Structure 1
Amino acid sequence: MTIPAGIVARKRSLGGGPVSLSADTFDKYVGASNLPVVIDFWARWCSLSKAMAPHFATGARKLAGRAMFAKVETDQEASLAARYGIECIPALVVLRNGQEIERHCGAMTAGQLVLWLQPHLRKTT
Structure 2
Amino acid sequence: MADLIVVCPSCTTSNRVPQTRLGAGGTCGRCGNALFEGHPITLGSLNFNAHAMKSDLPLLVDFWATWCGPCRQMTPAFEAAAASLEPLIRLGKVDTEAELNIASRYDIRSIPTLVMLHKGREIARQSGAMPTNAIVAWARQAAAGL
Q: Does TM, scored on the shorter chain, surpass 0.5?
A: yes
RMSD of aligned alpha carbons: 1.9
> Whose radius of gyration is greater, 1 or 2?
2
1:80-123 alpha-carbon deviations (Å, 9 max, x no partner): 11000000010100001110000011111110011111223469
Deviation at 1:19, TM superposition (A): 0.4
Looking at structure 2, the residues matched to 12 and 46 of structure 1 have their Cα atoms a distance apart, in angstroms, of 31
Is 1:114 the counterpart of 2:136? The answer is yes
Between Structure 1 and Structure 2, how many residues are aligned? 118
Which residue of 32, 37, 41 corresponds with 2:63? 41
Residue of structure 1 equivalent to 2:20: none
Letter in 2 for 1:83: R
Residue of structure 1 equivalent to 2:40: 18
Looking at structure 1, the residues matched to 11 and 94 of structure 2 have their Cα atoms a distance apart, in angstroms, of 15
Higher helix content, 1 or 2: 1
4+ aligned runs moved over 3 Å, structure 1: 10-13, 120-123
Is 1:5 the counterpart of 2:11? The answer is yes
Q: Which structure's relative contact order is higher, taking Cα pairs within 8 Å and 6+ residues apart? A: 1
TM-score when normalising by structure 1: 0.86
Q: 1:80 to 1:56 in 2, by over 3 A?
A: same
For structure 2, the residue ranges without an aligned partner over 5 or more in a row are 1-9, 14-27
Which residue of 103, 106, 111 corresponds with 1:84? 106
